[in-house]
């Protein structure tokens, strides 16, 4: 799965489209790279929107044991084989303004998708997508 970038049809900003590396599918033209990424995930990982959101890995102080524990907790919250096959993870970021999805940041190399915050719970940092307790 990739996101293609190309000139916008109206000559304005650059357009983005999700595309599949396993077939000829290409998504609709989008202005937001996140929308193109989500289109591609809807195609390649259709159940991704039902995944639990996990807290992002805290990387400010590198602690191999903390990284190991985080990976185990994420793996236990996702379907068997999901991460190993390159599936995405959904993360609740500490900075709610950091909404960019990131390629290659999931433990198995898939996308790290920023969970959409619940506007009703914005101040508490809760996500609309279910959240794994304790992470
Ligand atoms: Zn495909």
Distance between Cα 1 and ligand 1 center (Å): 8
Mean pLDDT for 13-27 is 89
Bridge-partner residues for 6, per DSSP? Answer: 15
| Whole-number pLDDT of residue 118 | 61
What's the 53 CA to ligand 1 centre distance in angstroms? 25
The pLDDT value given to residue 57: 85
pLDDT in tens, 57-103: 876 667 888 888 999 999 999 999 999 999 999 999 988 899 999 99
Query: How close is the Cα of 35 to the center of ligand 1, in Å?
Result: 17
- Burial classification of residue 101, based on how many CB atoms lie within 10 Å of its CB (0-12 exposed, 13-18 middle, 19 or more buried): buried
**pTM of the predicted model, to two decimals?**
0.79
- Tell me the CA–centroid distance for residue 45 and ligand 1, in Å: 10
């Amino acid at each position: 799965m990739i996101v293609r970038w190309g000139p916008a049809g109206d000559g304005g900003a650059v357009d983005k489209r999700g595309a599949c590396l396993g077939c000829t599918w290409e998504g609709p033209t989008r202005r937001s790279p996140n929308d193109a990424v989500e289109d591609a995930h809807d195609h390649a990982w259709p159940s991704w929107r039902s995944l639990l959101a996990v807290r992002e890995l805290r990387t400010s102080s590198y602690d191999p044991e903390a990284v190991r524990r985080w990976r185990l907790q994420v793996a236990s919250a996702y379907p068997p084989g999901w991460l190993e096959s390159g599936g995405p993870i959904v993360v609740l970021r500490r900075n709610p303004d950091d909404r960019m999805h990131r390629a290659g940041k999931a433990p198995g190399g898939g996308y790290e998708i920023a969970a959409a915050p619940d506007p009703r719970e914005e101040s508490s940092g809760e996500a609309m997508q279910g959240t794994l307790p304790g992470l």
